[in-house]
Amino acid sequence: MTKKAVVVNDLSGFGKCSLTASVAVLSAMGIQPCPLPTAVLSAQTEFKNYVCKDLTGEMPGFISAWKENRERFDAVYTGYFANEKQIGYALELCGAFKKDGCMLLVDPVMGDEGRLYPAYHAAAAEAMKELAGCADIITPNLTELCILTGEDYFSLSSNSEKSDYFERIADAARKLECRQIIVTGIGTKGGISNLVLSDDDARIIRGKRRNERFSGTGDLFSSVVCGGMLNGKTPYDSALLAARFVEKSIDDTLCEPYDPLYGVNFENNLSMLTEVK
């Protein structure tokens, strides 16, 4: 029987991010994505012009209807939330459906480069800590890890050239209740890495450094991790597949004229994911 994953995120017309990315990736991996949209946007918010319809008020109706239909899910996968009220609804969703082996993957989308995103605020960050504490696996970047743990991002990242840099990040991550953590996009002089922690094990996946930040790569990465784990892969193997998929998609994008706001050309690489169903 096809596995089903609730995907709680926004839907952007341009940017190849959020639900646009997750629905494509999970479908390719043989997982049925069941979207719970938090907002609908004409384009992701880094575009100069965009319109946004906030769907906070619609979320309880989705959850109620699914309860009444007695739906069952194999995973709940959360991404960006516009406010703490939406995170509260996600917690309600988990209370209703996170049972009988249902996995909760939280991608705590809150900030980057040491700062919260402009549309995010402290109350939502506090609510995210509660949601992350319920998760089976989380996929924060280094900024988000520091927000969740209270670590100082700039102090931690200043050690990037030291031999124990990844050990320090692992020590910070182990402060969290969640025992499976993938810290993404860790910058070093030699490239970009992901740190995969599972119980007492820590493994590094190293990748190439790029000069551009492309829209949607984090969503693609976490979506592959979700699909991989639902298909029986370990967190490490899921993260390795995700890293290679995103890296190949970036390489393809760099081969032609591009604008990083529009995301990466991942569509022709979905075959990398169908092989692991």
Ordered by where they begin, the domains of the chain are: 3-274 (3.40.1190.20)
The whole-angstrom distance between residue 3's C-alpha and the CA centroid of its chain comes to 19
* Residues in the chain, overall count: 277
Show the 3-state SS of 131-178.
Answer: HHHCCCEECCEHHHHHHHHCCCHHHHHCCCCCCCHHHHHHHHHCCCCC
pLDDT at 43 over 60: yes
Task: List, as one string, the DSSP characters of 198-246.
Answer: ETTEEEEEEE---S---TTHHHHHHHHHHHHHHTT--HHHHHHHHHHHH
Residue 176: predicted pLDDT: 93
* Digit-coded pLDDT (tens) for 254-265: 999 999 999 999
pLDDT at 241 over 70: yes
pLDDT at 277 over 80: no
Q: Hey, what are 104's tokens?
A: 């909760």
